[in-house]
């Protein structure tokens, strides 16, 4: 299957390891992955901050860049949600765009992707994956099938971590209060790794965990699923 990767600007710039993991994983599952170099950003930050007009040309660009593909996969629930739910309100008819976990489970029909990850992991189901896309527990199903992985339930997992894009800066103190509770939940699990399907939330929670020198590592779901015994995950952050 021919698949276009929409890396998202955040992952492309700050977390290339995640995008490389998506490529490895999808190729292992028999997809042919393309990365159109003209892609930039879905316009979510602009749209959500009140700069709707600025987001329009970015939505247009997205349609132009990916319009020829039957399947676009993004390692981000919120960017996939932006494309699917918001781009149509900006006058676009975007190509079918999936968050990674839903693409694996719904389109490829796999839950066991042959991964190996010998660590204790807890999973934060980010708000947009959960509520905008309705990804449900597909990510958990994928994680449960990973060999050697010890999955521990995150208490109050559905509570927002407090990122919210520019909310994290405009209402920094409230965001931090939400983050504090999320970190308490994460630490209560005793997990070594906090995973999520979105690097934005991971950057926020991970930034807090790093500040407190907790030693818990944020790792994107794609990196866990890409990890195998032959080619294991290596810590990059």
Partner 1 sequence: MARNPVTWLGSPTFPKAAHEALADTQLRQNLRKATGTIRGRRAAAVGEMTDWEQLRVAGEQIKDDVLSRLDTLLLQLEESVTARGGVVHWARDAEEANKIVLDLCRAENAREVVKVKSMATAEIGLNEALEAGGVHAIETDLAELIVQLGDDRPSHILVPAIHRNRSEIREIFQRRMGVEVSDEPADLAEAARVYLREKFLTAKVAISGANFAVADSGSIVVLESEGNGRMCLTLPETLITVMGIEKLVPTWQDLEVFLQLLPRSSTAERMNPYTSVWTGVTPGDGPQRFHLVLIDNGRTATLEDSVGRQALRCIRCSACLNVCPVYERTGGQSYGSVYPGPIGAILTPQLVGDMHDPQAASLPFASSLCGACFEVCPVRIDIPSVLTHLRAEAVEAKGRTAESVAMAAAAWVFREASRYEKAQKAGSLARFLARDGRITSLPWPGSKWTASRDVPAPPSESFRAWWRKNRG
- Distance (Å, whole) CA 162 – CA 56: 26
Token readout for 143 is 């994680």
Residue 178's SS3 state is: helix
User: 122 or 126: whose CB is closer to partner 1?
Assistant: 126
Token pair belonging to 42: 């879905």
The residue within the footprint of partner 1, chosen from 28, 61, 84, 96 (CB under 8 A), is 61
Strand residue runs (E) in 162-211: 193-196
Query: Does residue 49 belong to the site contacting partner 1 (CB under 8 A)?
Result: yes
Scan for tokens 């994107």, then name that residue.
Answer: 220
List the interface residues with partner 1, window 128-147 (CB under 8 A). 128, 130-132
Contacts 24+ apart (CB under 8 A), 172-177: 175/204, 176/208
The stretch near partner 1 (CB under 8 A) out of 92-100, 109-117, 153-161, 188-196 is: 153-161
- For residue 86 the two structure tokens come to 């918001």
Choose between 17 and 99: whose C-beta lies nearer to partner 1. 17
148 burial via Cβ count (<10 Å: 0-12, 13-18, 19+): exposed
Could you say whether residue 203 binds partner 1 (CB under 8 A)?
yes
Residues 4-23 binding partner 1 (CB under 8 A) are 7, 9, 11-17, 19-20
If binding is defined by CB under 8 A, does position 160 make contact with partner 1? yes
Does residue number 41 form part of the binding site for partner 1 (CB under 8 A)? yes
Transcribe 104-131 into DSSP letters: IIIIS--S----B--SEEEEE--HIIII
* Using rule CB under 8 A, residue 185 touches partner 1: no
Shortest distance in whole angstroms from residue 53 CB to partner 1:
8
Q: Does 214 bind partner 1 (CB under 8 A)?
A: no
Q: Which DSSP string corresponds to 126-147? A: -HIIIIIS--TTHHHHHHHTSB
Judged by CB under 8 A, the residue of 91, 177, 231, 232 near partner 1 is 177
Binding site for partner 1 (CB under 8 A): 7, 9, 11-17, 19-20, 35, 37-41, 43, 45-52, 54-55, 57-58, 61, 89, 127-128, 130-132, 158-160, 162-165, 167-179, 203-204, 206-208, 210-211, 236-237
């Amino acid at each position: 299957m021919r698949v276009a990767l929409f890396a998202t600007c955040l992952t492309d710039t700050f977390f290339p390891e995640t995008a490389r993991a998506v490529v490895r994983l999808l190729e292992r599952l028999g997809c042919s992955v393309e990365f159109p170099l003209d892609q930039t950003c879905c316009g979510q930050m602009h749209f959500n901050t009140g700069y709707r007009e600025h987001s329009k040309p970015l939505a247009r660009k997205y349609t132009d860049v990916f319009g020829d593909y039957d399947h676009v996969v993004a390692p981000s629930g919120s960017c996939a949600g932006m494309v699917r739910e918001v781009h149509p309100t900006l006058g676009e008819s975007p190509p079918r765009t999936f968050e990674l976990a839903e693409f694996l489970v719904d389109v490829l029909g796999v839950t066991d992707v042959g991964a190996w990850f010998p660590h204790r992991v807890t999973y934060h189901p980010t708000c947009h994956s959960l509520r905008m896309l309705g990804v449900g527990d597909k990510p958990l199903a994928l994680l449960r099938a990973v060999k050697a992985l010890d999955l521990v339930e995150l208490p109050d997992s559905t509570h927002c971590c407090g990122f919210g894009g520019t909310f994290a800066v405009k209402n920094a103190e409230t965001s931090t209060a939400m983050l504090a509770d999320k970190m308490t939940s994460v630490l209560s699990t005793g997990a070594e790794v906090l995973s999520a399907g979105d690097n934005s939330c991971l950057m926020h929670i991970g930034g807090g965990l790093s500040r407190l020198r907790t030693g818990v590592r944020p790792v994107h779901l794609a990196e866990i699923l890409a990890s195998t015994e032959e080619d294991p995950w290596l810590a990059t952050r």
